[in-house]
Amino acid sequence: MLLKKTALALGILGFSFSLMVIPAEAAQNEAIIINKSNNQLAFYEKGTLQKVFPVATGRTRSLTPEGKFYLVNKVKNRPWYKENIPGGDPRNPLGARWLGIKVPGDWAHTSGNLYGVHGTNNPSSIGTYASSGCIRMYNKDVIWLYDRADKDIPVYITSSSSSFTALAQNYGVGNAKKVVAGYETFNDTLRYGSKGESVKILQRKLGISADGSFGKQTLLSVKNFQKSKGLVVDGIVGPKTRKAFFSN
């Protein structure tokens, strides 16, 4: 009888331990990566890149902190307490959703109140350096992210010329494949409306969905890259922009 009780106790302990391990494993396969150099946010789920979104970050580099943080709270239509504007009000600069990030120096008894990924009532600011530190998204995009991102997942914020694939591989996120520098190049001049394999290579280099069609998202990503490198911001991938892409 004692042997049976001992076995049962060990079985319960093992089951409890397995439940404790699951969230840690899930966190390795789900992550948010924000790259301030091109103002883009990538969401990884089940170890796979799901979507890349344009965002706005801090007016200066120091305003949006860099490092590994965690998503600790989620709020629908959060009020703008500073100006006493209720959630859902068109004047509310926090938009439709708030995903709070735990950053050193956060205030109050709960964390995730000072910095967060949130919507905006100023969509023209997306893609620029405009915030006081938070990460802004289009409302439709932050709603999509809110519905999928779990609490306690890692949020990586950086300023890098690397692709999201390379960043994810460096951070050990899920099934990210190892990137070999310079493994693919192209010699074409690409612009809005271009299509084909060269566009896919460009899109992979930018860390966005590689559909082979040079559309609005690719145009915005190229312009942000050109701006970060001090190039002419025309959205055309000619010799100078190509050289900048493949010089790393």
Q: Name the segment(s) of the chain with CATH classification 2.40.440.10.
A: 29-171
C-alpha–C-alpha distance, residues 115 and 101, integer Å:
6
What is the chain's mean pLDDT, rounded? 82
pTM greater than 0.75: no
Rounded mean pLDDT of 63-71? 92
Tokens 């943080």 found at: 69
198 pLDDT band (50/70/90 cuts)? confident
Condensed to tens digits (0 to 9), the pLDDT of residues 98-133 reads 999 998 766 554 578 889 999 999 999 999 999 999
Residue 65's closest CA among 117, 103, 106? 103
Q: What is the pLDDT of residue 107?
A: 58
Q: Which residues contact 16 (CB under 8 A, 6 or more apart)?
A: none
Residue 50's closest CA among 68, 32, 27? 32
Positions annotated as catalytic residues are: 118, 134
> 165-183: buried (b, 16+ CB within 10 Å) or exposed (e) per residue?
bbbbbbbebbebeebeeee
Q: What is the pLDDT of residue 173?
A: 87
Least confident of 41-50, 180-189, 201-210, 239-248: 180-189
- Phi/psi-derived region of residue 95, left when phi > 0, alpha when psi is between -120 and 50, beta in every other case: left
25 pLDDT band (50/70/90 cuts)? very low
Q: What is the pLDDT of residue 4?
A: 47
Residue 98's closest CA among 224, 54, 205, 81? 81
Whole-angstrom CA distances from 10 to 6, 13, 15, 21, 22 are: 6, 5, 9, 16, 19
Q: What is the pLDDT of residue 3?
A: 47
Condensed to tens digits (0 to 9), the pLDDT of residues 82-97 reads 888 999 899 999 999 9
Condensed to tens digits (0 to 9), the pLDDT of residues 236-248 reads 998 899 888 876 5
CATH topology of domain 29-171: L,D-transpeptidase catalytic domain-like (2.40.440)
Q: What is the pLDDT of residue 218?
A: 93
